[in-house]
């Protein structure tokens, strides 16, 4: 006979099978990656952009007729120089911020709150677009090979989104393993494309470029159109910041590995971009409606029926679909930083059982899914918005580094400052070009969205301040909690969950002392918390009152809930004749919006205990006055 456990146990078993067993916090270092494993996680977005960056630039130039395509090579060279400047600038950032130097951190510490929020908002928008556009581009590559799946592009993009989300929820190491093969396969196929192209040029074709197919001009070739083509080609630079923002993913020495990986990624990106644009220029390739520029080059060099051509297309499909992983690596990390600074709800900084920011992963998945549904699988508009947020973050980060070196003035600071100043000037100029040239093509939506997101982040911070002023203990507040009523209610014990020292916690302790003969206050501690400080606060407030005890629990895993639940189970088994009451403080917000900011862990705690029997819950409510 098959026996089924409780619904809670069954759900827990299913989740563990899907996501893997929980990892202890001490295993966090084991989850960190070497350079070869971290490269596909943090660089898949940047490297995959060569599959569409050249085509994006050519798609604008062709509006001025076939002759305008000659400008594709100078534009590519200019973008490669820009890539070199940005990569070298971010290597300086990693040196200055070895724990992770994303735009938000650099701007926060050197430029102030408002610029840091602009950088954060820009990156949050860009990560959402990165995830959505990459997945939609992957499905479009699939429909190019198999036209029968064309009506199902949106559904396939959502399916890929679910797969990428699941892999990332399983942990950093699992994501590295899953995405390493497609990323390196794409790199190998571009290397083969370059070798075949070089052999053809040397032995047969020569350096004289083929004329492109004749196309009549629809617009005059002017500076504005050239700038539009340049800004479209700058989509090749999306994802460069990911390594600087994800230094903590690397094994020690993490900063050194991150600098090395960033340099390797920059070299690979520049060479791959030059390969596609250069071969396209020599072979007179023009954009086509039913075949990508990269596919046209592959057919020319490999042959349409060659296994190498199919390998090129399949690897392109996979890396485009999986390029969303860069966003899944960095969006949750940035959201956690914002949550720690109280610009987002605190639960965005919670680490899941697999030592990843699972709430950030899920929020990104939902946001990307909404974009996919709105766009219905069409990347046309979203691609035009790609680079706007990236270059906003680039500019603020490099400007912040200029201020950093000016303040520090250590050895070699002048050269470092000049490098970052060059990066700030060039990226700010490109940002202006993108805003002007792409404004009517959809950039206006991001120009509006970023200030709105900044306003939202600032509002969350202001509300957190008011709420914490209301619940935190203030000088002059009475700290006495009384003594347990030992004589009247013998055999009744209260277990008080104590999330921290606050007015709601003291109210819960006072209530427990008034109804029980023994009270145990339980605090689950993070590893970095000062336990002696907690005990000192307890002694100042409670002293050594009989029947009133403080219990500090350690959590080897990420969960702060399981240790408390296990403690309650152990107490009930050890004292079967004792009646237990679980007392939980609860701050009751005045506004519905505050429900996202308060009590989330308490609500999860209650759900975890609800499945067990013979328990009495008491919620001690503290109504916020503001």
Q: Give backbone dihedrals phi and psi of 619, rounded to 5 degrees, phi first.
A: -95, 120
Element (H, E) at 586: strand 579-588
Q: Which tens digit of pLDDT belongs to each residue from 441-466?
A: 767 777 888 899 999 999 888 888 88
Q: Name the least confident of 297-301, 492-496, 527-531.
A: 527-531
Residue with more model confidence, 210 or 20: 210
At 486, is the pLDDT very low, low, confident or very high (cuts 50, 70, 90)? low
Q: Which tens digit of pLDDT belongs to each residue from 102-143?
A: 788 888 888 888 999 998 898 888 888 888 888 887 787 777
Most confident residue range from 243-247, 270-274, 309-313, 476-480: 270-274
At 594, is the pLDDT very low, low, confident or very high (cuts 50, 70, 90)? low
Q: What percent of the chain has pLDDT over 90?
A: 8
C-alpha distances (whole Å) from 603 to each of 99, 240, 467, 526, 561 are: 33, 39, 18, 19, 10
Domain 20-462 has CATH 1.10.150.570: no
At 4, is the pLDDT very low, low, confident or very high (cuts 50, 70, 90)? very low
Please provide the DSSP assignment of 216-269 as one string. --SS---HHHHHHHHHHHGGGGTTTTHHHHTGGGBPSSHHHHHHHHHHHHHHHH
- Tokens in use for 203? 């032995």
At 234, is the pLDDT very low, low, confident or very high (cuts 50, 70, 90)? confident
pLDDT surpassing 80 at residue 264:
yes
Mean pLDDT (whole number) for 218-233: 81
138: nearest Cα among 399, 377, 352: 377
If DSSP states are collapsed to H, E and C, what string results for 277-336? HHHHHHCCCCCCCCCCHHHHHHHHHHCCCCHHHHHHHHHHHHHHHHCHHHHHHHHHHHHH
Residue 27 confidence (pLDDT): 45
Q: Which CATH architecture has domain 492-623?
A: 3-Layer(aba) Sandwich (3.40)
Residue 577 confidence (pLDDT): 78
Report the distance separating Cα 319 and Cα 325, nearest Å: 10
Q: What percent of the chain has pLDDT over 70?
A: 81
pLDDT surpassing 60 at residue 336:
yes
Most confident residue range from 8-12, 89-93, 270-274, 587-591: 270-274
If DSSP states are collapsed to H, E and C, what string results for 106-153? HHHHHCCHHHHHHHHHHHHHHHHHHHHHHHHHHHHHHHHHCHHHHHHH
Q: What is the mean pLDDT of the chain?
A: 79
Q: Which tens digit of pLDDT belongs to each residue from 391-430?
A: 888 888 889 888 988 988 877 788 888 888 888 888 888 8
Angle at the Cα of 457 (from 452 to 462), degrees rounded to 5? 120
At 596, is the pLDDT very low, low, confident or very high (cuts 50, 70, 90)? low
Mean pLDDT (whole number) for 237-249: 77
Report the distance separating Cα 67 and Cα 52, nearest Å: 21
C-alpha distances (whole Å) from 89 to each of 45, 240, 402 are: 19, 11, 10
Residue 171 confidence (pLDDT): 63
pLDDT surpassing 80 at residue 194:
yes
Helix or strand or coil: residue 6?
Answer: coil
Q: Domain extents for the chain?
A: 20-462, 492-623
At 54, is the pLDDT very low, low, confident or very high (cuts 50, 70, 90)? confident
Q: How many CB atoms lie within 10 A of CB 500?
A: 14
């Amino acid at each position: 006979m098959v026996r089924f456990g409780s619904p809670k146990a069954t759900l827990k078993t299913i989740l563990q099978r899907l996501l893997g067993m929980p990892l202890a916090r001490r295993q966090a270092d084991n989850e960190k990656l070497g350079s070869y494993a971290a490269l596909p996680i943090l660089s898949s977005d940047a490297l995959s952009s060569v599959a569409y960056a050249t085509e994006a630039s050519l798609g604008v130039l062709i509006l001025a007729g076939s002759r305008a395509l000659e400008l594709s090579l100078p534009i590519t060279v200019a973008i490669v120089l820009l890539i070199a400047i940005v990569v070298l600038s971010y290597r300086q950032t990693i040196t200055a911020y070895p724990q992770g130097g994303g735009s938000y951190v650099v701007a926060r510490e050197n430029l102030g709150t408002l610029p840091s929020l602009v950088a954060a908002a820009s990156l949050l928008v860009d990560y959402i677009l990165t995830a959505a556009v990459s997945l939609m581009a992957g499905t479009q590559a699939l429909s190019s090979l198999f036209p029968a799946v064309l009506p199902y592009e949106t559904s396939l993009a959502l399916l890929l989104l679910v797969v990428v989300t699941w892999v990332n929820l399983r942990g950093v190491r699992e994501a590295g393993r899953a995405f390493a093969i497609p990323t390196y396969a794409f790199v190998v196929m571009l290397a083969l494309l370059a070798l075949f192209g070089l052999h053809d040029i040397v032995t047969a074709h020569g350096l004289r470029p083929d004329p492109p197919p004749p196309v009549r001009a629809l617009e005059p070739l002017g500076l504005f159109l050239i700038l539009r083509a340049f800004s479209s080609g700058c989509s090749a630079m999306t994802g460069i910041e990911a390594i600087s923002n994800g230094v903590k993913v690397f094994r020690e020495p993490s900063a050194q590995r991150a600098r090395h990986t960033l340099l390797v990624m920059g070299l690979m990106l520049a060479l791959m971009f030059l390969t596609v644009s250069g071969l396209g220029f020599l072979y007179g390739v023009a954009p086509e409606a039913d075949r990508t520029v990269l596919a046209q080059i592959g057919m020319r060099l490999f042959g349409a029926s060659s296994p190498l051509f199919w390998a090129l297309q399949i690897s392109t499909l996979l890396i485009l679909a999986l390029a969303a992983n860069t966003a899944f690596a960095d969006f949750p990390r940035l959201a956690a930083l914002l949550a720690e600074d109280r610009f987002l709800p605190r639960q965005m900084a919670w680490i899941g059982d697999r030592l990843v920011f699972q709430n950030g992963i899920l929020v990104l998945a939902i946001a990307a899914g909404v974009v996919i549904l709105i766009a219905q699988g069409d990347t046309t508009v979203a691609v035009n918005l790609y680079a706007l947020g990236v270059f906003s973050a680039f500019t603020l980060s490099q400007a912040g580094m200029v201020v950093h070196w000016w303040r520090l003035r250590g050895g070699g600071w002048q050269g470092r400052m000049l490098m970052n100043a060059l990066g700030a000037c060039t990226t700010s100029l490109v940002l202006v070009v993108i805003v002007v040239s792409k404004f009517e093509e959809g950039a206006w939506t991001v120009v509006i969205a970023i200030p709105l997101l900044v306003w939202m982040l600032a509002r969350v911070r202001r509300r957190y301040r008011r709420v914490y002023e209301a619940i935190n203990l203030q000088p002059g507040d009475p700290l006495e909690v009384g003594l347990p009523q030992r004589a009247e209610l013998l055999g009744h014990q209260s277990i008080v969950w104590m999330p921290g020292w606050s007015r709601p916690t003291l109210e819960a302790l006072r209530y427990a002392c008034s109804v029980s003969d023994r009270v145990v206050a339980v605090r689950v501690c993070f590893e970095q918390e000062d336990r002696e400080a907690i005990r000192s606060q307890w002694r100042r407030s409670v002293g050594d009152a009989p029947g009133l005890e403080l219990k500090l629990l350690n959590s080897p895993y990420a969960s702060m809930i399981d240790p408390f639940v296990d403690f309650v189970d152990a107490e009930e088994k050890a004292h079967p004749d004792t009646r237990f009451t679980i007392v939980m403080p609860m701050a009751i917000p005045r506004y519905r919006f505050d429900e996202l900011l308060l009590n989330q862990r308490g609500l999860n705690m209650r759900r975890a205990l609800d499945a067990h029997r013979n328990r009495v819950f008491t919620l001690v409510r503290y109504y916020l006055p503001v």
